[in-house]
Amino acid sequence: MKTDVYYQFFVNSPFAYSCHRVIAGENGRPVDYVFLEYNQAFEQLMGLEGKEIHHQRLFDIFPFLLDKEEWKENLAQAVFNRKPLKIDIKHHSTQQWTRMNVFQLEPDIYGCIYTDVTKEYKQDKEIESFLRINIDLVFITDMTGSLVRVNHAVEKILGYQAEEIEGVSFKSLLHHEDIQKTIDVRKELENHDTVANYINRVRHKNGTYRYIEWNSQSNGKYIYSSARDITERKKLEEELCEKNHSLGLLTEELKQKNKLLNKLAVTDELTGLYNRQFIVQQIKPLIKKADIEKYALSMILVDIDFFKNINDTWGHPVGDSVLKQTGQLMKQTLRQSDTLIRLGGEEFIIVLPYTSLDAASKIAERIRINIERFNYPSAGNVTASFGVAKKMMNESFESWYSRADIALYKAKESKRNCVVKANL
C-alpha cells in the first residue's frame, strides 16, 4: 500500500522528478545516466513526451550537455562519491534555466528534482546589468534590509569592498539619528513603487559620515536603490544657511533699527505723541481713503489756555509736565483708530476717522472736561480751547486745517475753555 502511495505521489506531483541508473566506465566512474522513471511535470518542464525519454540516455536526450565539461565532471564526481549535488543547466532550445537536485536512491540509482529558475537568472542578469552600467552608488537589499549586492562605486564613495558589506543590514551603516526615518521610508515602498530624493547619512569606512541622496524602487523581493554622494553640496547648503541666518539676524536688526528711526522721526520727544512730521507722511493717504470710501473724517485742534503764564509762573519743567499729562489725558479719552499729534508748543491735533462733526464735538467736549477737572501737580487747574472741523469731499488738508484753526481762534477769542465747530 505504501509503495503505491509513494508511486502516485511521484507520478502526480506538480514538481518535476526523474530517476536514473548510472552507466559506469572502465574505471567505475559514471559516463552516462539512463532514464528509468519520470513524471508528467518533468515532461512539461522539459518539453518532452514519454516515448522520447523512456530508457534513453541523459546525453542522448540533452546532447548540448556534452559540451559542459565542468558540469559533466561535477555530476560524475557527486555520483561517484555518492553525495547530493545541485547544478543548473540551460536549455538551448527554450532558453530556460533548470536547477537539478541530484541525490542517491540505491548504489547505482539516482533521483533528480527539477526547478525552473529562469526568472531568477533573468533577475540576476538584470542586477548585473544594473550594477555594471550605473556610475552612482547602488545598493540592492532584500525586504529584511540586508544588502544583497552593491556596485564598484561603494569603494570609491564609502571605502568598502563589496564583500565587506554584502550580507550585512543597511541599518548598521546609518547614522543613528537617521535609522528610524529610513525604516519609515522603506515602509513607503510597500505601498508605492518608488521613493525619490531621500537623504540620510551613511558611515564611511574611516568612521566619518557622508550625506547620500537616494532613489529607491521595489521590484519583487528586492529593493533597488541608486544614490549620489551630496556631502559637499550639503556642506555648502549648511554654510549658506548659516550665512543666511546671520544675514537674516542682521536684516532683522536693521529692520528694527529702521523701524525705531522711523518712529523717532515721527515722534514728539517730550510727550511721546506723533509730531508734525507724521502729518506730512500720513495725512494725504488718510484723506484719499476717506474720499474713496466716502466716510466722515473730522479734526480737533487743541490749544492749552494761558500756557505762557504756566511757563512764566512755574518754569519750563512744570510746563513740560503739563504738556505730557495733557497728552495722556487726551489719549485716554480717544479710540484706537484716532490719531493724536503734537503740532508744537501747546497745540495738538486729533484726527478722527468715521466721525461726524457732531460726534467729534462731543469727543472734544469730554476731553475739555477731563482737562478742566484734572489737578495738575504744581500748575493746579488748567483749561484748553478746541476747534472742530469735518473734512469736506475732495477738500485739501490745508483748507480743512484752516477751517479748524479759525474755529479754535474763535474759541480762544470768546471765553476760552470751550469747543467751537467750524463752518461747512
Other CB atoms closer than 10 Å to residue 339's CB: what's the count? 19
Look up residue 15 and give its DSSP letter.
Answer: S
> Which amino acid, residue 413?
E
pLDDT in tens, 84-136: 888 877 776 667 888 888 888 888 888 889 888 877 766 666 655 555 545 57
Cα 326 to the chain's mean position, in Å?
A: 55
Check whether 61 has a pLDDT greater than 60.
yes
Residue identified by cell 508734525 is 276
Note the CATH number of domain 276-421: 3.30.70.270
Compute the average pLDDT of residues 141-164.
83
Other CB atoms closer than 10 Å to residue 310's CB: what's the count? 23
Q: Which cell is 235 given?
A: 556642506
pLDDT in tens, 307-366: 999 999 989 999 999 999 999 999 999 999 999 999 989 999 999 999 999 999 999 999
CB of 371 closer than 8 Å to CB of 329: yes
Other CB atoms closer than 10 Å to residue 224's CB: what's the count? 21
Tell me what pLDDT residue 2 has.
Answer: 67
What is the third-level CATH fold of 121-229? Beta-Lactamase (3.30.450)
Q: Which cell is 238 given?
A: 549648511
CB of 270 closer than 8 Å to CB of 323: yes
For the beta sheet containing 137-142, the strands, ordered from the edge strand earlier in sequence to the opposite edge, are 147-150, 137-142, 222-229, 209-219, 194-203
Tell me what pLDDT residue 94 has.
Answer: 66
Least confident of 59-63, 155-159, 308-312, 406-410: 59-63
As a whole number, the mean pLDDT across the chain is 85
- The residues spanned by each domain of the chain are 2-116, 121-229, 235-265, 276-421
Q: Which cell is 206 given?
A: 574611516
User: If residue 32 lies in a helix (H) or strand (E), which one and from where to where?
Assistant: strand 30-38
Tell me what pLDDT residue 4 has.
Answer: 79
Please tell me the distance from the alpha carbon of residue 162 to that of residue 123, in angstroms, as a whole number: 19
Apex CA 281: angle with CA 275 and CA 284, to 5°?
120
pLDDT in tens, 352-384: 999 999 999 999 999 999 999 999 988 889 999
User: If residue 2 lies in a helix (H) or strand (E), which one and from where to where?
Assistant: helix 2-12
Cα 266 to the chain's mean position, in Å?
A: 43
Please tell me the distance from the alpha carbon of residue 338 to that of residue 354, in angstroms, as a whole number: 10
Check whether 387 has a pLDDT greater than 90.
yes
Q: Which residues contact 246 (CB under 8 A, 6 or more apart)?
A: none
Check whether 27 has a pLDDT greater than 80.
no
CB of 356 closer than 8 Å to CB of 340: no
Check whether 259 has a pLDDT greater than 80.
no
Domains 2-116 and 121-229 share a fold: yes
Tell me what pLDDT residue 133 has.
Answer: 47
Report the length, in residues, of the chain: 424
Per DSSP bridges, beta strands 222-229 and 137-142 are antiparallel
Q: Which residues contact 206 (CB under 8 A, 6 or more apart)?
A: 159
Least confident of 131-140, 187-196, 241-250, 282-291: 131-140
pLDDT in tens, 205-214: 999 999 988 8
What is the third-level CATH fold of 2-116? Beta-Lactamase (3.30.450)
Please tell me the distance from the alpha carbon of residue 211 to that of residue 203, in angstroms, as a whole number: 9
Please tell me the distance from the alpha carbon of residue 68 to that of residue 99, in angstroms, as a whole number: 15
Other CB atoms closer than 10 Å to residue 127's CB: what's the count? 18
Map residue 316 onto helix, strand or coil: helix
CB of 200 closer than 8 Å to CB of 178: yes
Map residue 159 onto helix, strand or coil: coil
Residue identified by cell 505521489 is 9
Check whether 250 has a pLDDT greater than 70.
yes
CB of 214 closer than 8 Å to CB of 225: yes
Please tell me the distance from the alpha carbon of residue 256 to that of residue 191, in angstroms, as a whole number: 50
> Which amino acid, residue 402?
S
Please tell me the distance from the alpha carbon of residue 301 to that of residue 361, in angstroms, as a whole number: 11
Check whether 242 has a pLDDT greater than 70.
yes
3-state SS, 224-261, equals EEEEEECHHHHHHHHHHHHHHHHHHHHHHHHHHHHHHH
Highest mean pLDDT among 36-40, 188-192, 335-339: 335-339
Check whether 164 has a pLDDT greater than 90.
no
Please tell me the distance from the alpha carbon of residue 424 to that of residue 405, in angstroms, as a whole number: 13
* DSSP codes joined into one string, 266-311: TB-TTTSSB-HHHHHHHHHHHHHHHHHHT--EEEEEEEETTHHHHH
